[in-house]
Amino acid sequence: MTVEGDIVKSEADLVGESLFALPAAPMVMPRQVLERQHTLVARLAGLFGGARVGKAGN
């Protein structure tokens, strides 16, 4: 359950300081969806208002 394109590094390319540099073996750590885009109230309002409710996603 991930979001396309919202990926990888959380900060700039600067690693920081290192002594005996860690092996470079990058991995992609996709952001997880934890909150529904719409609250329950908005969903109910949408339901009764006949509007479409969007898919889950941050």
Tokens representing 33 are: 């969806």
Work out the burial of residue 41: count CB atoms within 10 Å of its CB; fewer than 13 is exposed, 13-18 middle, 19 or more buried: exposed
Nearer to other proteins, 17 or 49 (CB): 17
Closest approach of other proteins to the CB of residue 39, in Å: 9
| Residues 1-58 interacting with other proteins (rule: CB under 8 A) | 1-2, 8-36, 40, 56, 58
Contact (Cβ atoms closer than 8 angstroms) between residue 56 and residue 36:
yes
Which residues are at the interface with other proteins (CB under 8 A)? 1-2, 8-36, 40, 56, 58
